[in-house]
């Protein structure tokens, strides 16, 4: 492993501006700014002092959202598009700044974070041109027409791993469709949310149309239960998503769109291009230190090619550079101590279950940040095992071997999650069987399970989601398709 290199110039602490309510960042009483928000990649890097438990009048916040939404929903589409397009030059100007900020806050490599900011530009173009087509009125003479009505006030609860791109992918279509938005940012990434909110502030939206709530889980819970909220878009862990779902069982007024991660597989069949499969699996398992909902947690190998794949995969994995985000590493740090603990808890489970350690993941630069090296294990499939049923969200992968596609399918569907699957094979029949039999929302052929496209739907089934995909289809959940007929 390369030696951790400290950032040359110490990054400056930023001002924490508080939540953004009714068109203004709140003034925060300095006495309340007690909590240190530090970079997981460098404990000496203080991002800001902030307030994780703000006292906010949520009812008034929702009320102002509703008020602004009534006017905005009457605004014709070309005007909405014109207004939202103003975000483009602001994003372009901030690729470097925001990239650095995302890396400081999440610990992920700078090349990834800059890629995330660039993805906002693509998302903007796609949403304002292509996604818009999905909600244009459709005339069906002589029957009538389909017209799409905005839902009202949308709550977007964002994750930490793509703190700008993932919430933006829901905030933007929600606004375009004529809704007001309350963005509850991840408490692990409040600074990125603050920067993004600065952009919405600059384009001059009606006061209350876009609001940001900064704070932890308690405030999310209260927001979810606000009567005035019409739709909730949640991206995060299964455990939290499940709690939200349970709390809304009797709430028939709210749409709930869940994106809750995955326990994703890569299948490498006997005819696969092994060099390609190895390269793509390395990305899938270890980019973002395994902290993508589409990250690969298990590789299923055809017995015929297993030893060759393992040899190549280990060779490459041992060379992966883990380091501070500024040093162009393959992997930066994990997000926090809990994540580190989850990493080692999983290792213990593997050991206890008799798994073989092909490459033991180790803690690195302990005094500096939350760093680990990749973990690669090998096991036999046990249908009754709990291993493989919980997302680890860390850079670890289990390798299984089989000769039968039927067993591969069982393994793929074992976790109860159902987000993403990679199939490495040239055989059309193998690909079709995986498409039909796997319970997932995304199937990629000869490609990593990460790297979702803005042009395609993104979301899963089972414990991964509730059939309300984001990505290209996010706008569908932002509207009510209405039937209109008669005269
Ligand atoms: C994610 O949503 O966590 C990652 C998207 C991707 O790279 O597939």
Mind listing the pLDDT tens digit for each residue in 242-301?
A: 999 999 999 999 999 999 999 999 999 999 999 999 999 999 999 999 999 999 999 999
From the candidates 224, 293, 296, 478, give the one annotated as an active-site residue: 293
Q: How many domains does the chain have?
A: 2
| 66: in domain | yes
Rounded Cα distance, 245 and 418, in Å: 17
| 14: in domain | no
Probe residue for ligand 1, chosen from 452, 465, 472, 474 as the CB with the greatest number of ligand atoms within 8 Å: 452
Rounded Cα distance, 286 and 282, in Å: 6
Residues 89 and 194 reside in one and the same domain: yes
For residue 374, give both structure tokens.
């990749």
Is 285 tagged catalytic?
no
Residue 317, SS3 per DSSP:
helix
Rounded Cα distance, 186 and 150, in Å: 25
Residues 40 and 180 reside in one and the same domain: yes
DSSP conformation class of 204: T
* 162 CA to centre of ligand 1 in angstroms: 8
Probe residue for ligand 1, chosen from 234, 458, 464 as the CB with the greatest number of ligand atoms within 8 Å: 458
At 336, which CATH number? 3.40.309.10
CB of 452 closer than 6 A to ligand 1? yes
Beta carbons within 10 angstroms of residue 70's beta carbon:
13
Residues 93 and 163 reside in one and the same domain: yes
Chain CA centroid to CA 33, Å: 28
Residues 246 and 284 reside in one and the same domain: no
* 352 CA to centre of ligand 1 in angstroms: 31
403: nearest Cα among 266, 270, 264, 265: 270
Which atom in ligand 1 lies closest to the alpha carbon of residue 420? 8
CA 400 to each of CA 50, 412, 423, 438, 482: distance values in angstroms, whole numbers, following the listed order: 45, 11, 14, 17, 49
pLDDT given for residue 283 in this prediction: 98
* 225 CA to centre of ligand 1 in angstroms: 28
Per-residue pLDDT of the chain (487 residues; tens, 9 = 90+): 455 565 555 678 999 999 999 999 998 888 888 899 999 999 999 999 998 888 899 999 999 999 999 999 999 999 999 999 999 999 999 999 999 999 999 999 999 999 999 999 999 999 999 999 999 999 999 999 999 999 999 999 999 999 999 999 999 999 999 999 999 999 999 999 999 999 999 999 999 999 999 999 999 999 999 999 999 999 999 999 999 999 999 999 999 999 999 999 999 999 999 999 999 999 999 999 999 999 999 999 999 999 999 999 999 999 999 999 999 999 999 999 999 999 999 999 999 999 999 999 999 999 999 999 999 999 999 988 889 898 999 999 999 999 999 999 999 999 999 999 999 999 999 999 999 999 999 999 999 999 999 999 999 999 999 999 999 999 999 999 999 999 9
CB of 333 closer than 6 A to ligand 1? no
* 169 CA to centre of ligand 1 in angstroms: 12
| 9: in domain | no
Bridge partners (DSSP) of residue 417 are: 462
CB of 108 closer than 6 A to ligand 1? no
Residues 51 and 103 reside in one and the same domain: yes
pLDDT given for residue 184 in this prediction: 98
pLDDT given for residue 55 in this prediction: 85
Q: Are 239 and 342 contacting, i.e. CB atoms less than 8 angstroms apart?
A: no
Probe residue for ligand 1, chosen from 286, 287, 450 as the CB with the greatest number of ligand atoms within 8 Å: 450
CB of 119 closer than 6 A to ligand 1? no
Residues 229 and 201 reside in one and the same domain: yes
CB of 451 closer than 6 A to ligand 1? yes
| 341: in domain | yes
Closest residue to atom 5 of ligand 1, CA basis: 452
* 176 CA to centre of ligand 1 in angstroms: 23
Which atom in ligand 1 lies closest to the alpha carbon of residue 159? 3
Q: Are 470 and 170 contacting, i.e. CB atoms less than 8 angstroms apart?
A: yes
| 458: in domain | no
pLDDT given for residue 1 in this prediction: 44
Q: What is the pLDDT of residues 346-390, one digit of tens each?
A: 999 999 999 999 999 999 999 999 999 999 999 999 988 889 898
* 73 CA to centre of ligand 1 in angstroms: 31
Rounded Cα distance, 466 and 234, in Å: 11
Residues 198 and 232 reside in one and the same domain: yes
* 23 CA to centre of ligand 1 in angstroms: 31
Collect all residues with Cβ–Cβ distance below 8 Å to 222 and sequence separation of at least 6. 58
Run of H or E including 309? helix 303-319
| 13: in domain | no
Rounded Cα distance, 464 and 459, in Å: 7
Closest residue to atom 4 of ligand 1, CA basis: 292
Is 187 tagged catalytic?
no
Residue 242, SS3 per DSSP:
helix
| 376: in domain | yes
Run of H or E including 32? none
For residue 370, give both structure tokens.
């939350």
From the candidates 105, 112, 116, 259, give the one annotated as an active-site residue: 259
| Predicted TM-score of the model (pTM) | 0.96
Tell me the residue range of the domain where 62 lies.
20-260+466-484
Chain CA centroid to CA 175, Å: 20
CB of 179 closer than 6 A to ligand 1? no
CB of 283 closer than 6 A to ligand 1? no
At 160, which CATH number? 3.40.605.10
DSSP conformation class of 321: -
Residues 298 and 227 reside in one and the same domain: no
Which atom in ligand 1 lies closest to the alpha carbon of residue 442? 8
Residues 336 and 247 reside in one and the same domain: no
Q: Are 339 and 291 contacting, i.e. CB atoms less than 8 angstroms apart?
A: yes
Quickly list H helices, 20-76: 58-73
Helix, strand, coil share of the chain (percent; to 5): 40, 20, 40
CB of 161 closer than 6 A to ligand 1? yes
Q: Are 258 and 461 contacting, i.e. CB atoms less than 8 angstroms apart?
A: no
Residues 430 and 283 reside in one and the same domain: yes
Bridge partners (DSSP) of residue 105 are: none
Dihedral sign, CA of 475, 478, 483, 485? Answer: negative
Residues 197 and 284 reside in one and the same domain: no
Residues 85 and 172 reside in one and the same domain: yes
Rounded Cα distance, 487 and 482, in Å: 16
Q: Are 199 and 90 contacting, i.e. CB atoms less than 8 angstroms apart?
A: yes
| 92: in domain | yes
* 261 CA to centre of ligand 1 in angstroms: 9
């Amino acid at each position: 492993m390369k030696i951790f290199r400290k950032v040359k110039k110490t990054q400056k602490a930023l001002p924490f501006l508080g939540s953004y309510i009714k068109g203004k960042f709140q003034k925060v009483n300095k006495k309340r700014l007690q909590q240190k928000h530090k970079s997981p990649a460098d404990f000496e890097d203080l991002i800001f002092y902030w307030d994780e438990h703000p006292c906010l009048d949520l009812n008034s916040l929702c009320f102002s959202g509703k008020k602004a939404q009534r006017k905005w929903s009457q605004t014709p589409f070309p005007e909405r598009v014109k207004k939202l397009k103003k975000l483009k030059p602001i994003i372009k100007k901030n690729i470097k700044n925001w990239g650095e900020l995302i890396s400081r806050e999440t610990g992920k490599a700078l090349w990834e974070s800059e890629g995330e900011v660039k993805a906002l530009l693509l998302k903007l173009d796609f949403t304002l041109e292509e996604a818009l087509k999905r909600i244009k009125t459709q005339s069906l003479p002589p029957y009538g027409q389909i017209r799409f009505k905005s839902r009202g006030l949308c709550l977007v609860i964002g994750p930490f791993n793509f703190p700008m791109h993932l919430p933006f992918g829901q905030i933007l279509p929600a606004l375009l469709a004529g809704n007001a938005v309350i963005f509850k940012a991840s408490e692990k990434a409040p600074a990125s949310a603050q920067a993004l909110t600065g952009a919405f502030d600059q384009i001059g939206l009606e006061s209350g149309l876009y609001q940001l709530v900064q704070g932890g889980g308690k405030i999310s819970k209260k927001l979810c239960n606000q009567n005035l909220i019409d739709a909730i878009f949640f991206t995060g862990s299964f455990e939290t998503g499940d709690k939200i779902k349970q709390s809304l069982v009797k709430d028939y007024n709210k749409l709930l769109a869940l994106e809750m991660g995955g326990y994703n597989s890569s299948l490498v069949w006997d005819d696969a291009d092994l060099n390609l499969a190895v390269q793509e699996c390395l990305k899938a398992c270890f980019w973002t230190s395994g902290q993508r909902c589409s990250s690969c947690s298990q590789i299923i190998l055809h017995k015929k090619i297993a030893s060759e794949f393992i040899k190549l995969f280990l060779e490459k994995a041992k060379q992966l550079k883990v380091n501070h985000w500024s040093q162009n590493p393959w992997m930066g740090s994990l997000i926090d101590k809990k994540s580190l603990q989850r990493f080692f808890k999983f290792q213990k489970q593997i050991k206890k279950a008799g798994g073989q350690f092909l490459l033991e993941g180790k803690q690195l630069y302990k005094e500096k940040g939350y760093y680990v090296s990749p973990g690669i294990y090998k096991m036999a499939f046990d249908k009754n095992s709990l291993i493989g049923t919980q997302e680890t969200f860390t850079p670890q992968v289990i390798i299984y071997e089989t000769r039968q596609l039927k067993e591969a399918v069982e393994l793929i569907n074992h976790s109860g999650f159902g987000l993403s699957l990679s199939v490495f094979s040239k055989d059309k029949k193998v690909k079709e069987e995986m498409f039909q039999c796997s319970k997932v929302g995304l199937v990629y052929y000869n490609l990593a399970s990460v790297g979702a496209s803005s042009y395609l739907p993104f979301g899963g089934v089972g414990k991964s989601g509730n059939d309300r995909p984001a990505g290209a289809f996010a706008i569908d959940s932002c509207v009510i398709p209405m039937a209109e007929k008669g005269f």
